[in-house]
Chains A and B, each alone.
Chain A
Amino acid sequence: MHDSSTTAVHDRLGEAHAAHNPALLHHFAEPQQQRDAASLGMWVFLATEVMFFGGLFCAYLVYRLWYFPDFAAASKSIDATLGATNTAVLICSSLTVVLAVWAAQTARRTLLISMLGITMLLGLTFLGIKAVEYRDKFEEHHVPGASFSFENVPVPGHPGQFANPRHAQMFFSLYFVMTGLHALHMIVGLGIFSWLLFAAGKGRFTPEWHTPVEIGGLYWHFVDIVWIYLFPLLYLIDRHP
């Protein structure tokens, strides 16, 4: 008895929705409210991510202040050109993400699919360049651990002074944790985008409902912003001759 009455209520609600918008969930008054709720939820998640990365940035700042000459020497051993290239790659991917959101808003399905695809290619390019950088660090024995070696590396701007390997190891620990965690976020982003690509291919997104594209885009931009800070902090501490 109870069951059938709730089903009836649901049916009536269902009919009411079908008349308005099939994508509108029961507990929202209108599509705009539903969209705002989803984007607000994403922003709250991003706020927790700010604190997550914030702790690492805080640790980085403290050690940079203490071991500045050693951090400068260690930073100089990373390829700044690769870092700058990766920054440009991520900025381009942020552009393709806003274009994807715009394509979804304006019902341009082919553009949406190609923008999502290009974003993923750029994300993979970033990870590829990152892998080259990591390989260099492994070959140079700059990975913290038993085989770590940073002997007789001059401190920039102080002739005759050499970096303390233990302090440099601290830099590389932070470098690998921060860039590694960032790369992990990129991999998660690629997972999200492959799902978006699949759903876009099936034609699920419309100008009325494309919330996943929007909040997936928010995530991607956030990961870009983290890199925007990682690049100058890790690669460009004290570069001038």
Chain B
Amino acid sequence: MSGHAKSSPLKMYFGIWITLLVCTYLTYKLAFIELGRFNAAVALGIATLKATLVALFFMHVWHASEKLTKLVVIAALFFLMLLLGLTMSDYATRLWS
């Protein structure tokens, strides 16, 4: 939302939209192919790519005029990682002994 004189962002919006649809099709198709343990990694990787595109360009984090917005986004992700990371480091290692 920076600068009113900038060229129309429509091309970018439609580009992101097409990318998101292609990614959805890819996840769907790749899920039916045997990739071993990489199936989950591919599915989550594509989901993260899609979520990042939506946040950066549709939710305007990339062009946010307020730096605090970026701080809030990073803080939310940090605490989510803390929650998932610490919980999984416990549950995933319980059978090690």
Q: Chain A residues in contact with chain B, CB under 8 A?
A: 32, 36, 39-40, 43-44, 46-47, 50-51, 54-55, 57-58, 61-62, 65-66, 80, 84, 87-88, 91-92, 94-95, 97-99, 102, 105, 217-218, 221-222, 224-225, 228-229, 231-233, 235-241
> Known contacts A62-B87, A65-B91; is A36 also within 8 Å of B44 by CB?
no
Which residues from 9 to 65 on chain B have a C-beta closer than 8 Å to any C-beta of chain A? Answer: 9-10, 13-14, 17, 20-21, 24-25, 27-28, 31-35, 39-40, 43-44, 46-47, 50-51, 54-55, 58-59, 64-65
Q: What's the minimum C-beta distance from B80 to chain A, rounded to whole angstroms?
A: 5
Assess whether B51 is in contact with A58, with CB atoms less than 8 Å apart: no
A32 to B66, CA, bound (A): 10
Assess whether A94 is in contact with B84, with CB atoms less than 8 Å apart: no
Assess whether B44 is in contact with A232, with CB atoms less than 8 Å apart: yes
List 19 A–B pairs whose Cβ atoms lie within 8 Å, in order of A's numbering. Answer: A32-B65, A39-B64, A40-B69, A50-B76, A51-B80, A55-B83, A65-B92, A66-B91, A88-B21, A91-B20, A99-B13, A221-B54, A224-B54, A228-B54, A232-B44, A232-B46, A236-B28, A236-B31, A236-B39
A153 to B21, CA, bound (A): 33
Assess whether A84 is in contact with B83, with CB atoms less than 8 Å apart: no
Q: Chain B residues in contact with chain A, CB under 8 A?
A: 1, 8-10, 13-14, 17, 20-21, 24-25, 27-28, 31-35, 39-40, 43-44, 46-47, 50-51, 54-55, 58-59, 64-66, 68-69, 72-73, 75-77, 79-80, 83-84, 87-88, 91-92
Q: Which residues of B contact A224 (CB under 8 A)?
A: 54
Task: Determine which of A36, A50, A218 lies in contact with B65 in the assembled complex, contact meaning CB atoms within 8 Å.
Answer: A36
Assess whether A80 is in contact with B17, with CB atoms less than 8 Å apart: no
Assess whether B69 is in contact with A43, with CB atoms less than 8 Å apart: yes
Assess whether B72 is in contact with A95, with CB atoms less than 8 Å apart: no
Q: Which of A61, A66, A228 has the most CB of B within 10 A?
A: A228
CB contacts between A and B, total, < 8 Å: 129
Assess whether A225 is in contact with B66, with CB atoms less than 8 Å apart: no
A235 to B47, CA, bound (A): 13
Q: Which residues of B contact A32 (CB under 8 A)?
A: 65
A166 to B53, CA, bound (A): 38
A228 to B55, CA, bound (A): 12
Q: What's the minimum C-beta distance from A26 to chain B, rounded to whole angstroms?
A: 20
Task: Determine which of B10, B54, B64 lies in contact with A102 in the assembled complex, contact meaning CB atoms within 8 Å.
Answer: B10
Known: A54-B84, A233-B44. 5 other contacts (CB 8 A): A36-B68, A47-B79, A88-B21, A217-B59, A232-B44
Nearest CB in chain A to that of B31: its residue: A236
A235 to B91, CA, bound (A): 23
Q: What's the minimum C-beta distance from B16 to chain A, rounded to whole angstroms?
A: 8
Q: What's the minimum C-beta distance from A70 to chain B, rounded to whole angstroms?
A: 16
